[in-house]
């Protein structure tokens, strides 16, 4: 693996976040994410899950504290170096954030195109990925004509298509039936086995039991607790990354 | 795992084919390209009017300013004739004089006939001056006219020398103020055109604010995102600009035809040269430039508000 060598992919130290002059929505958040692990972030609605993920996917700077990511200080990182870091991430936004005028296919292809992948290397992996999330026959549909669950699956396909180093998913199964939820978790697990660190925010407690060896972080009114010892060092490690060929669309992904 | 090198490769090749797919290419949609077309057409028409006026003035001035009229005022027809011939010969020898022409008696008669009546001219009862048309290779400055007078004084004491442009001075002044009017109009229209283009670019970006943010969060660089929008808005503006240019060209050509058929010399000379057309073609180019620069600045500014 070409991951960060020093055994951590993300490190938060005493991070606090407030929007404007409001109260802090995150306080004293400290944790370390280890490469190749599978994390659940849980907590009540309004606990600050999305806020914490925004810090993770570099859409927000904290009000205080220190964040290290991919071996660099994410807070003092110059703005023009951020895109390169963002390209190492896959993000499923809670509100999907699909580009409204692009088809499902083009939305999924977006990260590859942003990264400058040649057009000839795009059609197949994107097609396979849409097939995997069950949207092969909807690939030309605009987001507005897709159901909530279908949009969510497009968002997930877009997040994983580039085989990111870290996947950050905000309520990725909130709009799909339990069966599809399990199937999507399998996709995350497959990606995880390829070495991607996965962080899934959810308040669906049933989901937490579905991934063996997953680590759980709990947010409570902006403060982090640690029911599975995910934040301890050394952590309970998840499954070791396998390097064998993998079923599913990821083996065909271009990156 | 091959994805890190692939990522690095992709990172370098940020201007991929797929970039055009990032934003909608809604060409000539909405009113803005048409507003741009109309503004471009009006600007070009005003500018072409100004240019035509300038050309006409310049060419008429060149004709008139390089000329002077010598009147030999002498009551005795024989003496007048002799003085005219002598003056003619002397003027021909003068440096800087390109041509000298004795205006034939019939032309002079035709000139004065409306005032004096045809009958009056039959006899030599009324002495009509002899007229000599002098052309210089350069404008007839007062110094040149003075030199002319000096040369003629000994030969034809009754000679009067006038610059031909003299009587046209008020006409030139009027044309000059018309030109200023045209310049002011072009300036106003250019400002309005820039404003229209600015609004169009802002409008297009406002409608795509979410897209900008999404591409930004997916790792698009500022330059990459700006380039995509710049291109798409440039295409829109170019569409409007071309339509405007064609519209204006039709108007100018039709008007030009109309004026040419009047056969009035002054108007003919206002015809636009290729350099003028080149200048007019710059108007839509400028519109495209303004659109692209605006798009770029607007996108970069809204991106800089994001982390
Ligand atoms: N942009 C914002 N400006 C101001 N306050 C915000 C903003 N975003 C979130 N908040 C506040 O921060 C707190 C945490 O919000 P957050 O979205 O992180 O919660 P969450 O755990 O993701 O909730 P949910 O499970 O409902 O998605 C909430 O009280 C919310 O009102
Ligand atoms: Mg949330």
Q: What is the pLDDT of residue B75?
A: 78
The ipTM value here is 0.86
Q: Which residue has the higher pLDDT, A144 or B30?
A: A144
Q: Decide if A195 and B15 are in contact by the 8 Å CB cutoff.
A: no
Write down the pLDDT at residue A67.
94
Query: Greater confidence, B173 or A167?
Result: A167
Find out whether B97 and B134 touch, Cβ atoms under 8 Å: yes
pLDDT digits (tens, 9 = 90+) for B11-59: 333 334 445 556 555 444 567 788 889 989 999 999 988 888 888 877 7
pLDDT exceeds cutoff 60 at A252: no
Q: Give the pLDDT of residue B22.
A: 61
Domain A10-97+163-225, what architecture?
A: 3-Layer(aba) Sandwich (3.40)
List, for residues A189-206, the tens digit of each pLDDT value: 988 998 899 999 998 888
Helices (H), B153-221: 169-207, 209-217
* Model confidence at B147: pLDDT above 50: yes
- Which of A183-192, B62-71, B174-183, B295-304 is the most confident on average? A183-192
- Which residue's entry shows tokens 């519109």? B287
CA of B244 to the centre of ligand 2 (A): 50
Determine which of A109-113, B126-130, B156-160, B182-186 has the lowest per-residue pLDDT on average: B126-130
Mean per-residue pLDDT over chain A, rounded: 85
pLDDT of residue B83: 85
pLDDT at B270: 61
- A19 CB within 6 A, ligand 1: yes
> pLDDT tens-digit profile of A113-141?
999 888 889 999 999 999 988 999 999 99
Counting one residue from chain A and one from chain B, the pairs whose CB atoms sit within 8 A come to 110
Q: Which ligand number lies closest to the CA of residue A170? A: 2
What residue's CA is closest to ligand 1, atom 29? A46
Domain map (residue ranges) of chain A: 10-97+163-225
Of B24, B219, B304, the CB nearest to A101: B24
User: Between A148-160 and A123-132, two packed helices, what is the crossing angle to 10 degrees?
Assistant: 130
Q: Supply the pLDDT for residue B234.
A: 84
The CA distance from B307 to B304, in Å, is: 7
- Nearest ligand atom owner, CA of A41: 1
- For A135, the 3-state DSSP assignment is coil
* Mean pLDDT confidence for A104-114: 93
Q: What is the pLDDT of residue A138?
A: 93
pLDDT for the residue numbered B102: 84
In this structure, are residues B28 and B236 in contact, taking their beta carbons and an 8 Å threshold? yes
Cβ-nearest to B220 among A80, A83, A101: A83
pLDDT of residue B90: 84
In whole numbers, what is the pLDDT of chain B averaged over residues? Answer: 77
Q: State pLDDT tens for residues B219-254.
A: 999 988 888 888 877 888 888 899 999 999 999 888
A37-89: per-residue pLDDT in tens? 999 999 989 999 999 999 999 999 999 999 999 999 999 999 989 999 999 99
From residue A160, alpha-carbon distances to A57, A66, A89, A210, B93 in Å are 14, 27, 9, 20, 95
Q: What is the pLDDT of residue B14?
A: 39
**B48 in Cβ contact with B252 (< 8 Å):** yes
Q: Judge if the beta carbon of residue A218 lies within 6 A of ligand 1.
A: no
Number of Cβ within 10 Å of residue B111's Cβ equals 12
Rg (CA), chain B: 33
- How far is A114 from chain B, CA to nearest CA, in Å? 6
Q: Which of residues 267-306 of B touch A (CB under 8 A)?
A: 304, 306
The pLDDT assigned to B119 comes to 62
Strands A197-201 and A38-43: parallel
Classify domain B65-166 at the CATH class level.
alpha beta
Rounded to two decimals, the pTM is: 0.72
Higher per-residue pLDDT: A147 or B121: A147
Domain assignments of chain B as residue spans, ordered by start: 3-61+170-306, 65-166
**Tens digit of pLDDT for each residue in B122-139?**
555 667 788 888 887 777
Question: At a CB cut-off of 8 Å and minimum separation 6, what does B102 contact?
Answer: B84, B88, B130, B131, B132, B133
CB-based contact B56:B269 (threshold 8 Å): yes
- CB nearest A119 (choices: B1, B17, B221): B17
What average pLDDT does range A96-124 have in this prediction?
91
């Amino acid at each position: 693996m070409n991951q960060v060598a020093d055994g951590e992919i993300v490190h938060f130290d005493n991070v606090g976040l407030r929007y404007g002059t409001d109260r802090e929505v995150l306080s004293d958040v400290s944790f370390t994410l280890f490469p190749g692990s599978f994390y659940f972030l849980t907590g009540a609605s309004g606990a600050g899950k999305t806020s914490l993920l925004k810090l993770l996917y570099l859409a927000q700077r904290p009000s205080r504290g220190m964040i290290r990511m991919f071996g660099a200080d994410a807070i003092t990182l110059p703005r023009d170096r951020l895109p390169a870091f963002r390209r190492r991430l896959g993000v499923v936004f809670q509100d999907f954030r699909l580009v409204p005028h692009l088809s499902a296919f083009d939305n999924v292809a977006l990260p590859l195109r942003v990264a400058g992948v040649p057009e000839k290397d795009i059609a197949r992996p994107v097609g396979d990925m849409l097939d995997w999330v069950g949207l092969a026959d909807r690939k030309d549909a605009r987001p507005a004509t897709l159901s909530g669950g279908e949009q969510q699956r497009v968002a997930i396909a877009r997040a994983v298509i580039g085989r990111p180093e870290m996947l950050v998913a905000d309520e990725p199964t909130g709009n799909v039936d339990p069966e599809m939820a399990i199937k999507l978790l399998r996709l995350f697990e497959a990606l995880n086995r390829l070495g991607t660190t996965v962080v899934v925010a959810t308040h669906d407690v049933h989901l937490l039991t579905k991934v063996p060896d997953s680590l759980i972080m709990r947010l409570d009114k902006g403060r982090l607790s640690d029911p599975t010892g995910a934040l301890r060092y050394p952590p309970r490690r998840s499954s070791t990354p396998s390097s064998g060929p993998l079923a599913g669309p990821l083996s065909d992904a271009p990156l | 795992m091959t994805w890190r090198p692939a990522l690095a490769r992709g990172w370098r090749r940020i201007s991929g084919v797929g970039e055009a797919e990032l934003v909608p290419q809604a060409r000539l949609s909405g009113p803005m390209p048409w507003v741009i077309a109309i503004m471009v057409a009006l600007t070009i028409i005003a500018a072409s009017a100004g240019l035509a006026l300038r050309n006409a003035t310049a060419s008429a001035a060149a004709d008139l300013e390089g000329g002077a009229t010598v009147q030999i005022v002498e009551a005795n027809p024989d003496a007048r004739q002799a003085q005219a011939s002598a003056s003619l010969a002397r003027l021909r020898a003068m440096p800087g004089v390109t041509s000298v022409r004795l205006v034939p008696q019939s032309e002079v008669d035709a000139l004065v006939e409306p005032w004096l009546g045809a009958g009056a001219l039959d006899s030599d009862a009324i002495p009509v001056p002899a007229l000599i048309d002098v052309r210089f290779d350069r404008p007839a400055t007062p110094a040149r006219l003075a030199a002319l007078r000096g040369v003629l004084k000994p030969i034809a004491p009754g000679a009067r020398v006038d610059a031909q442009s003299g009587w046209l001075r008020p006409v030139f002044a009027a044309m000059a103020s018309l030109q200023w009017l045209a310049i002011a109009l072009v300036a106003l229209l250019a400002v309005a055109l820039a404003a229209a283009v600015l609004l169009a670019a802002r409008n297009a970006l406002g409608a795509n604010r979410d897209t900008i943010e999404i591409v930004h969060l997916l790792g698009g660089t500022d330059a990459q995102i700006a380039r995509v929008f710049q291109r798409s808005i440039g295409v829109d503006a170019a569409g409007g600009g071309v339509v405007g240019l064609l519209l204006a060209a039709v108007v100018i050509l039709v008007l030009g035809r109309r004026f040419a058929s009047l056969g009035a010399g002054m108007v003919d000379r206002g015809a636009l040269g290729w350099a003028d057309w080149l200048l007019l073609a710059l108007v839509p180019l400028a519109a495209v430039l303004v659109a692209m620069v605006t798009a770029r600045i607007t996108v970069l500014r809204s991106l800089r508000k994001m982390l």
